Structure 1
Amino acid sequence: MGPSWLWLLGAGVLVCQPFPAHGGKNLVLPQAPSDQLPGPVPAYHKVTPTITSFALRLYKRLAAGDPGNIFFSPVSLSATLALLSLGTQADTQTQILEGLGFNLTETAEADLHRGFQSLLLTLDLPSPKLELKVGTSLFLDKQLKPQQGFLDSIRELYGALAFSGNFTESAEMRRQINEYVRKRTYGRVAGCLQDFSQDTLLVLLNLIFFKAKWKHPFNRYQLQKQGSFLVDERSALRVPMMHQKAMHRFLYDQELSCTVLQIEYSGNALALLILPDPGKMKQVEAALQPETLRKWDQLLQPSLLDLHLPKFSISGTFNLEEILSQIGLPNIFNSEVDFSGITGQLNKTIFRVSHKAAMDMSEKGVEAAAASGILSQPRVLNTTTATHAHFNRPFLLLIWDVTTGSLLFLGKVINPAAG
Structure 2
Amino acid sequence: MRTHTLSGQADARMGPAWLWLLGAGVLASAQGDTSPGPPRAPSGPLSEPAPAYHRVTPTITSFALRLYRQLATAAPGNVVFSPVSVSTALALLSLGVPDDASAQILEGLGFNLTETPQASVHQGFQSLLRTLDLPSPKLELKVGSSLFLDKRLEPRQHFLDDVRELYGALAFSANFTDSAATGRHVSEYLRKQTYGQVAGGLPELNEDTLVVLLNYVFFKAKWKHPFHRYQKQDSFFMNERTPLRTPMMHQKEMHRFLYDPEMACTVLQIEYSGNALALLVLPDPGKMEQVEAALQPKTLRKWGQLLQPSLLDLHLPRFSISGTYNLEEILSHIGLADIFKLEADLSGVAGRPNVTISRVSHKATMGMSERGTKAGAASGLLSQPQALNSTAAPQVHFNRPFLVLLWEAATHSLLFLGKVANPAAG
> Same fold judged by TM-score > 0.5?
yes
CA shift in 2, pair 1:25/1:293, >3 Å: same
Pick from 311, 328, 335 the counterpart of residue 321 of structure 1. 328
Kindly provide the CA deviation profile for residues 328-349 of structure 1, in whole angstroms up to 9, marking residues without a partner as x: 1111101232321112211112
Is 1:96 aligned to 2:98, yes or no? no
Pick from 194, 206, 210 the counterpart of residue 215 of structure 2. 206
Q: Unaligned stretches of 5+ in structure 1?
A: 367-380
Pick from 19, 23, 26 the counterpart of residue 11 of structure 1. 23
* Distance in structure 1 (CA, Å) of the matches to 2:140 and 2:265: 31
Secondary structure of 1:143's aligned partner: coil
Is 1:237 aligned to 2:249, yes or no? no
Pick from 415, 418, 425 the counterpart of residue 408 of structure 1. 415
Q: Which runs of 4+ in 1 moved over 6 A?
A: none
Is 1:343 aligned to 2:350, yes or no? yes
Instruction: Name the counterpart of 1:143.
Output: 152
Secondary structure of 1:282's aligned partner: helix
Assess if the C-alpha contact under 8 Å between 2:36 and 2:300 holds in 1: no
Per mean C-alpha deviation after superposition, the further-off stretch among 290-299 and 5-14 is 5-14
* Distance in structure 2 (CA, Å) of the matches to 1:271 and 1:111: 29
Residue identity in the other structure for 2:86: L
Secondary structure of 1:293's aligned partner: helix
Instruction: Name the counterpart of 2:8.
Output: none
Assess if the C-alpha contact under 8 Å between 1:228 and 1:238 holds in 2: yes
Task: Give the structure-2-normalised TM-score.
Answer: 0.91
Residue identity in the other structure for 2:17: W
Instruction: Name the counterpart of 1:283.
Output: 290
CA shift in 2, pair 1:354/1:127, >3 Å: same
Is 1:51 aligned to 2:60, yes or no? yes
1:192 CA drift (Å):
3.7
Pick from 21, 29, 32 the counterpart of residue 37 of structure 2. 29
* Distance in structure 2 (CA, Å) of the matches to 1:116 and 1:30: 15
1:202 CA drift (Å):
1.0
Residue identity in the other structure for 1:11: G
Instruction: Name the counterpart of 1:361.
Output: 368
* Distance in structure 1 (CA, Å) of the matches to 2:340 and 2:35: 37
* Distance in structure 1 (CA, Å) of the matches to 2:386 and 2:66: 38
Secondary structure of 2:313's aligned partner: strand
* Distance in structure 2 (CA, Å) of the matches to 1:227 and 1:64: 28
* Distance in structure 2 (CA, Å) of the matches to 1:195 and 1:50: 32
Is 1:40 aligned to 2:49, yes or no? yes
Instruction: Name the counterpart of 1:119.
Output: 128
Instruction: Name the counterpart of 2:7.
Output: none
Paired positions, count: 399
Secondary structure of 1:279's aligned partner: coil
Assess if the C-alpha contact under 8 Å between 2:23 and 2:364 holds in 1: yes
Assess if the C-alpha contact under 8 Å between 2:24 and 2:365 holds in 1: yes
1:11 CA drift (Å):
2.5
* Distance in structure 2 (CA, Å) of the matches to 1:33 and 1:167: 47
Assess if the C-alpha contact under 8 Å between 1:230 and 1:393 holds in 2: yes
Assess if the C-alpha contact under 8 Å between 1:241 and 1:308 holds in 2: yes
Residue identity in the other structure for 1:387: P
Assess if the C-alpha contact under 8 Å between 2:268 and 2:281 holds in 1: yes
Pick from 151, 156, 161 the counterpart of residue 170 of structure 2. 161
* Distance in structure 1 (CA, Å) of the matches to 2:417 and 2:326: 17
Secondary structure of 1:128's aligned partner: coil
Is 1:87 aligned to 2:96, yes or no? yes
* Distance in structure 1 (CA, Å) of the matches to 2:62 and 2:27: 25
Assess if the C-alpha contact under 8 Å between 2:246 and 2:318 holds in 1: yes
* Distance in structure 1 (CA, Å) of the matches to 2:297 and 2:386: 31
Pick from 76, 91, 116 the counterpart of residue 107 of structure 1. 116
Secondary structure of 2:303's aligned partner: helix
Assess if the C-alpha contact under 8 Å between 1:87 and 1:341 holds in 2: yes
Residue identity in the other structure for 2:156: Q
Kindly provide the CA deviation profile for residues 111-158 of structure 1, in whole angstroms up to 9, marking residues without a partner as x: 110000000000000000111010000001111111100000000000
1:32 CA drift (Å):
6.1
Residue identity in the other structure for 1:303: S
1:63 CA drift (Å):
1.0
1:34 CA drift (Å):
5.0
Secondary structure of 2:27's aligned partner: strand
Secondary structure of 1:14's aligned partner: coil
Is 1:396 aligned to 2:403, yes or no? yes
Task: Give the structure-1-normalised TM-score.
Answer: 0.92
Instruction: Name the counterpart of 1:181.
Output: 190
Is 1:331 aligned to 2:343, yes or no? no
CA shift in 2, pair 1:394/1:211, >3 Å: same
1:66 CA drift (Å):
1.2
1:31 CA drift (Å):
3.6
Assess if the C-alpha contact under 8 Å between 2:315 and 2:396 holds in 1: yes
